[in-house]
Chains A and B, each alone.
Chain A
Amino acid sequence: AQSVTQPDIHITVSEGASLELRCNYSYGATPYLFWYVQSPGQGLQLLLKYFSGDTLVQGIKGFEAEFKRSQSSFNLRKPSVHWSDAAEYFCAVGAEGSSNTGKLIFGQGTTLQVKP
């Protein structure tokens, strides 16, 4: 069965420090992969997506993610974290059999806390 694992439930980084949020997936074919961010009281916002091509994907707000097929990973990175980045981050994979943006399977989420 398809699944998405975010090993880190909670991460705390200092403002200005670099960030990496981990995501591992289980999927039978080439996956469609996404990172969403959910700020308190807000809906989900798409940060970036991978469908095919260049395995290093650039997103909004200075985020990037790298697809590594050999490791079944799609880790999210940011070189310098801002206090406004504090939020819940979700990795998701497009469900097998759906279109590239159809049904999504989400990881458990990682809560990012930013220290001043």
Chain B
Amino acid sequence: SAVISQKPSRDICQRGTSLTIQCQVDSQVTMMFWYRQQPGQSLTLIATANQGSEATYESGFVIDKFPISRPNLTFSTLTVSNMSPEDSSIYLCSVVGRHTDTQYFGPGTRLTVL
């Protein structure tokens, strides 16, 4: 199974600032995704991170707010820009491995915006 790490594991940020979350996988994967889990809520897909090209965003999410990079097959970043308290959530990275049909999730990054 893929081992996924995320940095930071948690952070407390001020309104108006930006935070970049990193996702690192221990093996090459075909697909990488970013999800958001708002307090007491379920998971919502933000975007699919595409290697070497622009991410594919879901309805309600835009690149200016959530820029995503994926420079190679094992690494991706999600930036939460110009944060407001409504952005307080757990952000999770997930991947689908090259030789598996299972989607694995990272431990998540717990973000609190004051």
The size of the chain A interface, using a CB distance under 8 A, is: 23
Q: Which of B43, B92, B101 is the one whose CB lies under 8 Å from A100? A: B101
**Is B113 at the interface (CB under 8 A from chain A)?**
no
Query: Contact at B96–A102, with CB atoms within 8 Å?
Result: yes
Report how far A43 CA is from B44 CA in the complex, Å: 15
Count of CB-CB pairs between chains A and B under 8 Å: 51
Report how far A104 CA is from B36 CA in the complex, Å: 12
Report how far A73 CA is from B19 CA in the complex, Å: 39
**Is A46 at the interface (CB under 8 A from chain B)?**
yes
Q: Which of B101, B102, B106 is the one whose CB lies under 8 Å from A43? A: B106
Known: A44-B92, A103-B48. A90 touches B101 (CB 8 A): no
The 4 closest A-B pairs by CB, nearest first: A44-B105, A43-B107, A106-B42, A106-B43
17 contacts between A and B (CB under 8 A): A34-B103, A43-B106, A43-B107, A44-B92, A44-B105, A51-B101, A90-B42, A92-B43, A99-B31, A101-B103, A102-B31, A102-B96, A103-B33, A104-B43, A104-B103, A108-B41, A109-B42
